[in-house]
Amino acid sequence: MTYTGPERRRCPRITVRFVVSYRVLEEVNAVDISQTKNFGLGGMLLTTNRIFPPETKLALEIRLPLDPNPIILIGRVVESREIVKELIYDTRLEFLAIDEKHRGIISQTVDYHLKKK
């Protein structure tokens, strides 16, 4: 089901695939790897292999083309919805804090992809 209502995000999102490793903040050894479905300065949508309750905090490591080093963030789950029964979930995240360096890199990445459209 695709949302067709008015855009409520404060920051634009781009539909791109970036590699993301993620884990529940408190689960140090349970890292999974996925890809973004969309991405912006305020958050992202990624595919996960399990459902997460709203408010779950995830530690994220994202690789962007404009920086050779991964960007490390904390995200809060807004929604996690089953796409393929007991296998694939779309998980929407809001970023909780981004330092200025990484804010600039994310902003440049989003601007670049928006201009390509």
pLDDT: which is higher, 72 or 5: 72
Q: Is residue 3 pLDDT above 50, yes or no? A: no
**Separation between Cα atoms, residue 31 and residue 101, nearest integer Å:** 25
- For residue 32, give both structure tokens: 């999974």
- For residue 28, give both structure tokens: 């140090």
Share of the chain above pLDDT 70, in %: 91
pLDDT digits (tens, 9 = 90+) for 36-53: 999 999 999 999 999 999
Say which CATH architecture domain 13-116 belongs to: Beta Barrel (2.40)
Mean pLDDT over 17-33 rounds to: 92
Is residue 111 within 8 Å of 103, Cβ to Cβ?
A: no
pLDDT of residue 40: 92
Mean pLDDT over 17-45 rounds to: 92
